[in-house]
């Protein structure tokens, strides 16, 4: 894992980029790549590519980036890992290619030389890449189908800039700093900034699963090469039981994600996902991995305490278990660094900061995470609550004005707790589509509540640009044709991509730790897709537990979902009511750290 950036002055008459801008952007990402740095300029000085390296595969200098393939006039910077690079390498060698490194970077270069942009569909992994094709005179940008690795760009009509981080692009000094109200509104609604928006009007995220071509005539619209929605929509009927499919596909994903020339550890909670991954790592031949669990004095003796169950699973699997204690004093000491490392505001990610910090303390550069299991295997309560919300609201959609009238009446005559909870009344206003129901379920604040905390003009403009319900409904195109599929797409393409994966990236990279996610894998998704429509509550997690050889403790299987819980809001703000209130106050606190001066 690394940091990448570049500039292409593609417009006629545009002055060549300044080397200092390229290097300032690159070196803002020093934590992402502490093992090396590089830069390359085209002979005409109009294209510059730069890279910060975290060496994980082929640790030698020969695998440094930017990497050139002179005979094809190709230059590549790449962030991530290609887990099937050995199979692709063998295929290319059979075609006559001769490699000079053991890196996946060289595989991408040589595969592109043979297949062009079509090669993207053959890559299994997490990646963001930029490839300069000197013969065509253009720059190819691409991002993996889930959007595990970030990629941001700015185009001013004459020069195109990109980087792994929003803050890095701004640090270069070449992008005008104009606030994007849509990014701010999105954060206050969801607790993260929804893609493609950022807090800056001139910077946007490259969409997951797309390729962008920048040529002398300008920047193309992102072209989809792999779509999660289309995979679900075109999934055939199941041809084998889910237990059998998941046992093979999950083990295959774990085995692929263990490919590295450095030690690979595991973030171990007390949940099914990471517990199953620990067993699958052992099955894949990765015996006695280093497993890291966070424990908090505030949770001692509480059901949220991950330590005892995680320790029991680690002992059963023969793992080298590390219980890492985090207290309020350490949180307060680290908070300025956390907010500085946070590339875009988020109400989450602090747990990942501390477990990645613990990993680095143990000498680890790579760690496996169980993130993604709930989205893939219908583990969230939203798989039940969203269809139920839509059913409840359906009668009000058939009579014009009925929802508005009922909302107004309840706002006046309903009991106090109903009137004070905007989400209760919000069912009538928002649960008319899947996107509206999802926003209602996931929102930190609903749009109608934002006038109390935002400037009216900024709020109006932001809501118009963001258009949150329509944006969420658009994530379901093409429609997967089943309720579970719709929820899986919303969770995968909104919460997972825009919050969990983004937080894993900035929090891990802040400590020079690459976080790998075997349950967020395109081949695994294709294997499970035929079964998603038929999943009943608990089916998916039982199937994952059944993929283990040694089994999981009954207490883990019956345990309510907590994830890597952390009392951050309580530490920062004091005990101020239930979790919903804490989240809203914590969001305001995070926003203050990103608010521009004045």
d(CA 62, CA 58): 8
How would you class 302 by CB atoms within 10 Å of its CB: exposed for 0-12, middle for 13-18, buried for 19 or more? exposed
Active site annotation includes 2: yes
Residue 558 phi/psi, 5-degree rounding, is -95, -5
372 SS3 class: coil
Tell me the backbone φ, ψ of residue 6, rounded to 5 degrees: -175, 170
Residues 6+ apart with CB under 8 A from 144: 80, 123, 125, 126, 127, 128, 208, 209, 522
Pairing of strands 366-368, 159-163: unpaired
For the CA atoms of 559, 564, 567, 573, the dihedral, rounded to the nearest 10 degrees, stands at: -130
Helix (H, G, I), strand (E, B) or coil at 79: strand
- The active-site residue out of 1, 2, 76, 272 is 2
- Rounded to whole angstroms, how far apart are CA atoms 345 and 591? 7
CA gap 186, 195 in Å, rounded: 9
Q: Give a three-class secondary structure readout of 432-478.
A: CCHHHHHHHHHCCCCHHHHHHCCCHHHHHHHHHHHCHHHHHHHCCCC
Spatial distance between the Cα atoms of 108 and 165, rounded to a whole number of angstroms: 22
Q: Which residues are registered as beta bridge partners of 214?
A: 139, 219
Give catalytic residues, as residue numbers.
2
């Amino acid at each position: 894992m690394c940091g990448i950036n570049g500039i292409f002055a593609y417009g006629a008459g545009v002055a060549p980029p300044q080397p200092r801008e390229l290097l300032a952007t690159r070196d803002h990402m020093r934590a992402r790549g502490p093992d090396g740095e590089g830069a390359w300029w085209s002979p005409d000085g109009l294209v510059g590519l730069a890279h910060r390296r975290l060496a994980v595969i082929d640790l030698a200098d020969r695998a440094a980036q930017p990497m050139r393939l002179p005979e094809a006039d190709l230059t590549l910077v790449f962030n991530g890992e290609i887990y099937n690079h050995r199979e692709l390498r063998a295929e290319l060698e059979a075609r006559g290619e001769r490699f000079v490194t053991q890196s996946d970077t060289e595989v991408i270069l040589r595969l592109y030389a043979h297949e062009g942009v079509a090669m993207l569909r053959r890559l299994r992994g997490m990646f963001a890449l930029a490839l300069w094709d000197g013969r065509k005179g253009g720059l190819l940008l691409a991002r993996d189908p889930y959007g595990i690795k970030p990629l941001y760009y700015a185009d001013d009509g004459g020069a195109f800039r990109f980087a792994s981080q929003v803050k890095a692009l701004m640090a270069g000094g070449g992008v005008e700093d104009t606030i994007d109200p849509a990014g701010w509104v999105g954060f206050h609604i969801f607790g993260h900034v929804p893609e493609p928006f950022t807090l800056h009007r001139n910077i946007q995220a490259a969409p997951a699963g797309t390729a962008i071509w920048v040529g002398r005539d300008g920047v193309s619209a992102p072209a989809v090469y792999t779509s999660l929605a289309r995979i679900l929509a075109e999934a055939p009927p199941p041809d084998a039981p889910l237990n059998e499919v998941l046992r093979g596909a999950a083990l295959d994903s774990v085995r692929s994600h263990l490919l590295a020339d450095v030690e690979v550890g595991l973030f171990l909670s007390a949940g099914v996902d990471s517990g199953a991954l620990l067993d699958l790592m052992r099955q894949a031949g990765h015996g006695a991995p280093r497993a890291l669990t966070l424990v908090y004095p505030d949770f001692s003796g509480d059901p949220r305490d991950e330590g005892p169950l995680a320790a029991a699973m680690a002992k059963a699997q023969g793992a080298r278990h590390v219980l890492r204690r985090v207290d309020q004093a350490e949180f307060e000491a680290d908070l300025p660094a956390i907010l500085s490392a946070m590339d875009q505001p988020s109400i989450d990610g602090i747990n990942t900061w501390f477990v990645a910090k613990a990993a680095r303390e143990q000498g680890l550069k790579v760690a496996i995470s169980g993130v993604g299991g709930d989205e893939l295997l219908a583990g969230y309560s939203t798989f039940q609550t969203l269809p139920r919300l839509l059913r409840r609201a359906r009668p009000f959609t058939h009579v014009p004005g009925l929802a508005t009238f009922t909302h107004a009446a309840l706002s006046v005559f309903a009991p106090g707790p109903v009137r004070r909870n905007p989400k209760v009344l919000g069912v009538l206003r928002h649960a008319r589509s899947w996107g509206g129901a999802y926003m209602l379920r996931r929102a930190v604040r609903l749009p109608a509540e934002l006038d109390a905390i935002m400037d009216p003009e900024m709020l109006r403009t932001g809501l118009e640009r963001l258009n949150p319900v329509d944006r969420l409904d658009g994530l379901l195109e093409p429609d997967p044709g089943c309720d579970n599929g719709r929820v899986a797409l919303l969770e995968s393409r909104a919460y997972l991509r825009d919050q969990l994966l983004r937080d894993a990236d900035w929090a891990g990279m802040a400590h020079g730790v690459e976080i790998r996610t075997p349950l967020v894998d395109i081949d695994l998704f294709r294997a499970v897709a035929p079964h998603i429509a038929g999943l009943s509550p608990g089916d998916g997690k039982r199937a994952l537990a059944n993929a283990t050889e040694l089994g999981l403790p009954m207490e883990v299987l019956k345990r309510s979902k907590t994830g890597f819980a952390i009392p951050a809001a309580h530490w920062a703000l004091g005990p101020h009511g239930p979790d919903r209130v804490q989240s809203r106050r914590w969001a305001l606190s995070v926003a203050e750290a990103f608010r521009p001066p004045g």
